């Protein structure tokens, strides 16, 4: 079984390489990617099988082809419910590769969406074991919520657009505040959420953010010095206006 998955990964790498000549007798890349997702979602647990899956997906996450990385994230999402897969995911620090897929914004919307869906799925399954790196990257995307300029060809005026993942990341931070507010304190994400509240140009999620922060305050033990408080969680200079 393990050998079969590694063979499938080799076929995907070969089919996605621009230097490999097209062979009509072989499966197309889209079919191979679907086979990979079906494999990790239906395979029974065998000796060294999870090691093979994690190792193969790690290689595919380093691929130069965006659709291969997106499919690898989807395969991770379909297999992360298995505790052994999750433990090996943390052991090999694949969370850094997921963060890379979420932060890079170079016309790879499909990959970013798969990375976001994976983080959300992992949080729903293991809310108390969410890697700090995920909170840091969500916080960074929300904190940098500004217009991004995309240069056009020639000397024409660049196209200006906003990052569509900002609201999604903020919504997920609100959910994290309801389930595990202490990790927001550890990653200094509460101050970013406070900045969003006072930003008059962003009012669609203000009530949700405010409720999440109030819930986080309620979870903190204010009179116990061993627990963080709202004052400890924010910038001493206050949120920037």
Tokens of 93: 């620090």
Tokens of 53: 């899956």
Q: Does residue 165 contact residue 112 with C-beta atoms inside 8 Å?
A: yes
- Tell me, what's the pLDDT at 37? 93
Spans of the chain below 70 pLDDT: 1-3, 22, 24, 44-48, 146-162, 199-204, 220-241
Q: Exposed/middle/buried for 71, CB within 10 Å: 0-12, 13-18, 19+?
A: buried
- Tell me, what's the pLDDT at 47? 54
- Tell me, what's the pLDDT at 129? 96
Write down the residue that tokens 């499919």 correspond to. Answer: 71
- Tell me, what's the pLDDT at 45? 64
- Tell me, what's the pLDDT at 219? 75
Q: Exposed/middle/buried for 203, CB within 10 Å: 0-12, 13-18, 19+?
A: exposed
Nearest to 46 by CA among 10, 85, 8, 9: 85
Q: How many other CB atoms are there within 10 angstroms of residue 193's CB atom?
A: 25
**pTM score:** 0.83
Nearest to 235 by CA among 183, 195, 201, 199: 195
- Tell me, what's the pLDDT at 1? 46
CA 175 to chain centre: 14
- Which residues neighbour 31 within 8 Å (Cβ) at sequence distance 6 or greater? none
Phi–psi pair at 21, nearest 5 degrees:
-65, 145
Q: How many other CB atoms are there within 10 angstroms of residue 52's CB atom?
A: 18
Domain map (residue ranges) of the chain: 1-97, 126-145+161-241
Vertex 53 angle, CA 69 and 91, to 5°: 90
Tokens of 138: 């969500």
- Tell me, what's the pLDDT at 76? 96
Q: Over the stretch 195-215, which tens digit does the pLDDT of each residue have?
A: 877 765 666 678 889 889 888
- Tell me, what's the pLDDT at 217? 81
User: Across the strands, what pairs with 4?
Assistant: none
Instruction: Classify each residue of 73-101 as buried b or exposed e, where b means 16 or more C-beta atoms within 10 Å of its C-beta.
Output: bbbbbbbbebeebbebbeeeebbebbbeb
E strand or H helix at 156:
none
């Amino acid at each position: 079984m393990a050998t079969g998955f590694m063979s499938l990964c080799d076929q995907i790498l070969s089919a996605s390489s621009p230097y490999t000549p097209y062979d009509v007798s072989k499966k197309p890349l889209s079919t191979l990617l679907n086979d990979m997702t079906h494999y990790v979602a239906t395979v029974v647990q065998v000796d060294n099988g999870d090691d093979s899956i994690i190792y193969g997906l790690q290689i595919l996450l380093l691929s130069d082809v965006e659709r291969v990385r997106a499919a690898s994230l989807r395969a991770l999402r379909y297999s992360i419910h298995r505790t052994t897969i999750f433990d090996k995911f943390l052991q090999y620090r694949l969370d850094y590769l997921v963060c890379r897929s979420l932060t890079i914004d170079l016309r790879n919307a499909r990959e970013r969406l798969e990375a976001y869906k994976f983080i959300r799925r992992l949080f729903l399954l293991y809310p108390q074991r969410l890697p700090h790196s995920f909170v840091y990257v969500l916080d960074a995307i929300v904190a940098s919520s500004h217009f991004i300029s995309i240069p056009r060809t020639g000397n024409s005026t660049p196209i200006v657009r906003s990052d569509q993942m900002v609201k999604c990341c903020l919504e997920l931070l609100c959910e994290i505040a309801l389930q595990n507010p202490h990790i927001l304190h550890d990653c200094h994400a509460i101050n970013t959420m406070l900045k969003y509240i006072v930003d008059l140009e962003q009012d669609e999620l203000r009530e949700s953010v405010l409720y999440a922060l109030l819930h986080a305050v309620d979870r903190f033990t204010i009179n116990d010095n061993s627990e963080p408080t709202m004052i400890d969680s924010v910038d001493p200079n206050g949120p920037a206006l």
